[in-house]
Amino acid sequence: MDFSSYQALKLERDNGVLTITLNRPETLNAIDDDMDKELARVFIEAGHDPQTRVIIFTGAGRAFSAGGDIEEMQRVIDEPQRFVDSMRRGKQIVFSMLDCQKPIIAKINGHAIGLGATLALFSDISYAALPAKIGDPHVAVGFVAGDGGAAIWPQLVGFARAKEYLLTGDLLTADQAERIGLINYAVAPEELDGRVQEVASRLANGAANAIQWTKASINIALKQVVTSVIDASLAYEALSNQTEDHQEAVNAFREKRKPVFKGR
């Protein structure tokens, strides 16, 4: 892999463990156009990298990812073709994570919100620091949860809880997320690095073919579910991108006030 070709992502590899870090800490790792483009290819390249056996996926600074970048939200409202392009990349990101046979461990060092939560939840094993909050508040900005949340949440926590959290946009604490099965483990912040490194090393030193083909086998059914959902959910999100309520949410965020939704 050519690590130098990545700017929004930071890549480091040690003893077969590739760490991919969302690297816009000044924005809480909000995902802009540049990061989106890099995410759309990094798991494909990592999957073909002979020196990588396990992937740790994390964020720089205080957050895993705050989700979508608010300025990019305005740009895709103004230029709908940008949203069409991002839909294609969004689908590619999800399927590249599912198709990557190398195990992906999410190290959720801080809040994982919206698309940030989707990225964490499509990882294979997830550890979150106790202060972290996890949630998908697309509806809070007048958006459909179309980038994968509608597919992965029901698989992890069942339809009833998935509907509760996706329809309200409420966030969960790490220990709540662990309790309902949304993530694997909630751990003390000072233990996070060690716990993740321990399982990464164990997998990196395991029988690579057996581990990777087991992941591939498990993901057959999951890919069928995602295939059945993702195109429609992205199309609904594209429709919501052009609603008055979504524009109001973007305006309210910029003006630091609560949005007033009108159902239009």
Q: What's CA 112's distance to the chain center, in Å?
A: 8
- Model pLDDT, residue 44: 98
DSSP string, 144-197: --TTTHHHHHHHHHHHHHHHHHHHH---EEHHHHHHTTSSSEEE-HHHHHHHHH
Digit-coded pLDDT (tens) for 165-220? 999 999 999 999 999 999 999 999 999 999 999 999 999 999 999 999 999 999 99
Band (pLDDT 50/70/90 cuts) for residue 31 is very high
- Model pLDDT, residue 23: 98
Q: Which two tokens stand for residue 237?
A: 């999100």
Residues 133, 114: contact at Cβ < 8 Å? no
Domains of the chain by range and CATH? Answer: 3-190 (3.90.226.10)
Q: Inform me whether the pLDDT recorded for 125 exceeds 90.
A: yes
- Model pLDDT, residue 69: 86
Share of the chain above pLDDT 90, in %: 96
Closest CA to 53 of 101, 98, 10: 101
- Model pLDDT, residue 165: 98
Band (pLDDT 50/70/90 cuts) for residue 140 is very high
Between the alpha carbon of residue 129 and those of residues 105, 132, 208, the distances in Å are: 14, 6, 28
The chain-wide mean pLDDT, for the chain, equals 97
The C-alpha atoms of residue 109 and residue 64 are separated, in whole angstroms, by: 6
Q: Inform me whether the pLDDT recorded for 68 exceeds 90.
A: no
The C-alpha atoms of residue 174 and residue 172 are separated, in whole angstroms, by: 6
